[in-house]
Structure 1
Amino acid sequence: MNRGGAETMVMNYYRHIDRSRLQFDFLVHRETPGIYEEEIRSLGGRIYRLPPITLSGLAEYRKKVAEFFDAHPEYRLVHGHCSELGYWVYREAAARKLPFIAAHAHSSPLGVDRNSLQRFLLKHLMRPYLTHRFTCNELCGRWLFGRLGMRNAIVVRNAIDAEKFRYSPEVREQVRKEMKWDGKLVVGHTGNFSWPKNHEFLLRVFRALLAVQPECLLVLVGSGGEGEEKIRAEAQNPEWGGKIRLLGGRDDVAALLQGMDVFTFPSWFEGFGIAMLEAQAAGLPVVASDRVPEDGAVAPGHVNFLSLRESPGAWVEKILEITDGWRRTDTSAAIRAAGLDVVHNAERLQQIYLEQGGGE
């Protein structure tokens, strides 16, 4: 459990449910511990590990999934956040007649890539095994479940703890001093290093920014994803002069956002963009790609959408434009007004689990 969008959303809800009535346990696909695992255990959750899903290891993976359900007949609810890759888990759960088997749509991939055929096949194969469908918005739900499946899908917003991220001048000053960011224009990004996050384009933007604003830093917060090793190696290139800071997975993202000056989000696609919501909650101006759903822009005047067809120079112009004279304000009221504060949303999700999952 590292700090990706889906993982962060699940943790936000987990922190705010009544754990005396309902407990989350986690089935993950990695051997190395993630940033959230210590917290999960402190909240009473258990973590089980499956091998990664690979073509060569598929037979072993299916065996391990079956063994898990055989060893743990106590579970009545399965809520998957791996999109179509949850197919094997849903199938084994259905074979054991669990009353609540849900897939959750978090993204809506665009275009065609090497995984497109796999996605298409698995999302159709998984649908008969589901008893419930969840989505963060209409677009993602239609992609994963189809138009008919979306009719009875439950929309669960990617909510955050607005109070936790609320702008604090004192925290900003402290973070900038501790991180040695004083006097720098700090360009931030949070998320894993998977292809959709588009770090390659972000580096091109930062190179163009350095040419006109040498006193700047690019701060990347997060870990995991197939591109992490490549980006880490690139950041060590002497040409950057140490101005790319990779902080890894962190549990103090709310504080780090306070210290940044602008948030960049050049994703190829997103389901909702919870990282962008957190940035707005911290009062940051945002430059995001036009592939990011507009329903994630909830703080008036904070989000600026640009096409990925625009040059890195155009992104730099926008960054310099919006940071010139930007005044940070408290946006928590806007987050709550948009229905994106987690407190009420967690109560609603908990009620769905208890009512439709076979009781307490």
Structure 2
Amino acid sequence: MAAKRVLIVLGKLKRGGAETLVMNIYRTIDRSVVQFDFIVHTPDRYDYDDEIESLGGKIYRFPQYNVLNHFEYKRCWNRFFAEHPEYRIIHAHMTGSASVFLPIAKKYGLVTIAHSHIALSQKGIRQKVIDLYRLPLKNQADYLFACSNDAGVWMFGEKATTRDNYYIIRNGVDTDKFAFSSDKRDKIRAELGLDGKFVIGNVSRFHIQKNHYLLIDVFAEIKKENSNAVLLLVGDGDLRGAIEEKVKSLGLADSVIFTGVRTDIDCILSAMDVFIMTSFNEGLPVSLVEAQASGLHIVATDTISSEINITDLVEFCSLDDSPKKWACTALKYADGYERRNTKAEIAAAGYDIVSTTEELEKFYLKNWHE
């Protein structure tokens, strides 16, 4: 029997949080039973295109929705479903224009899922338009998914989160892969010249949401107290140049390493001593689940759902706290500590990728209608 093909909707196939979760599931799911195909909103290829195609997935490319192309965008979706009657389930991880395409999918008989990965809006006119478009989702989608309850309440409203069609889908990770390894630590530290250093780290795209400006201010305070401190910034994005300029202006260029996008995040996390996340908002960051799987101490903004505190390794600071207070929290670990294996804790909380994947696979099969 041929695999049931589920349609996954994303913006781009880059190494963001939602994309990483989808790929973690895709690698783990029994692809002889459930296969993923993707609709993306870009003509360009990104980090995961090659892997998806190697795993048997198809990638369809749509124009990015910008309000002005509303009718053309709807025509694209109508044409797609008319030409592809094989799909029975559509899972929208990109919700900005989901209120446009999910009703069309329902018209063609698909089971529709809207999945929230974030718990707070950005500022600006474009975001206000996106916020308006997400309001109908709670009544348009057949099923409402969220990575955390905060993300669910923000996207769908508190009342919707009490319905029977609302599910928390935990951001599971491969706990074996991300478990701390002294060999991985030594390898990365040798590669990046980090031997004997107190390594502060962050893995995220350079975007206004991630608030790297505060992170640099926090590191400047850490550096004042610990001359061996190094900041490891993993990722890429539109604001990278601006952050590089800020680092230079503070005289920290010799102490901050910009690695760009890396595929060996498990190794990178083993090499760190403290992970700091200063984001303005998040849903439930996959990167912080991975960091906890690595036994890494974390200092994170309290705008992130407390659900992220799966272990006792997460400490929260406020965005209103001074950079010095953030720095003092991180500096507690400058003398080192034993990295413990947190696999059992993470699995017990339901954040192991096998548990997440099994839950979704059962859901897809239960809701598949020929």
Is 1:27 the counterpart of 2:39? The answer is yes
Pick one of 113, 118, 123 that aligns with 1:107.
118
Do residues 2 (structure 1) and 10 (structure 2) align? no
Q: Structure 2: which amino acid aligns with 1:279?
A: A
Alignment CA distance shift 1:59-1:201 (3 Å): farther
CA separation of 1:211/1:341 partners in 2, compared to 1, >3 Å: closer, same or farther? same
Q: 3-state SS of the aligned residue for 1:250?
A: coil
Structure 1 counterpart of 2:59, from 47, 57, 67:
47
Mean Cα deviation higher: 65-74 or 154-163: 65-74
CA shift digits 1:54-94 (9 cap, x unpaired):
34555544443344334333221110011343222213212
Residues 280, 303 of structure 2: 8 Å contact kept = yes
CA contact (8 A) 1:35 1:249 kept: no
- The correspondence of residues 113-192 of structure 1 with structure 2, limited to 5 A, is 113-115=124-126, 117-150=128-161, 151-152=163-164, 153-192=166-205
Aligned AA for 1:80?
A
Deviation at 1:13, TM superposition (A): 1.0
Q: How does 1:318-337 map to 2 (within 5 A)?
A: 318-337=329-348
CA RMSD of superposed structures (Å): 2.2
Q: Which residue of 2 aligns with 1:356?
A: 367
Q: Distance in 1 between matches of 2:258 and 2:84?
A: 39
| Mapping of residues 1-360 of structure 1, within 5 Å | 1-98=13-110, 100-109=111-120, 113-115=124-126, 117-150=128-161, 151-152=163-164, 153-224=166-237, 226-234=238-246, 239-300=251-312, 302-358=313-369
- Larger RCO (CA within 8 A; separation ≥ 6): 1
Which residue identity does 1:315 align to in structure 2? W
Query: What is the rounded CA distance, in whole Å, between the counterparts of 1:52 and 1:80 in structure 2?
Result: 14
- CA displacement at 1:325 relative to structure 2: 3.1
Equivalent residues of 2:98, 2:134 under 8 A apart:
no
- TM-score, length basis structure 1: 0.91
Distance change >3 Å, CA 237–CA 24, structure 1 → 2: farther
In the TM superposition, residue 234 of structure 1 has moved relative to its aligned partner by 4.3
Asked if 2 retains the 8 angstrom alpha-carbon contact of 1:105 and 1:135, the reply is yes
Kept in 2: contact 1:108–1:144 (CA 8 A): yes
User: Structure 2: which 5+ runs fail to align?
Assistant: 1-12
Give me the whole-angstrom Cα distance separating, in 2, the residues matched to 1:111 and 1:346.
30
Q: Is the 8 A contact 1:91 1:126 kept in 2?
A: no
Task: With the length of structure 2 as denominator, give the TM-score of the two structures.
Answer: 0.89
When residues 63 and 237 of structure 1 are mapped into structure 2, their CA distance, relative to the original with a 3 A threshold, is farther
Structure 1 residues 200-245: Cα deviation after superposition (integer angstroms, max 9, x where no partner)? 1111112222333333222222234x53443355456683324322
Gaps of 5+ in 1: none
Number of aligned residue pairs: give it.
356
- Percent identical pairs in the alignment equals 35
Q: Distance in 2 between matches of 1:91 and 1:354?
A: 22
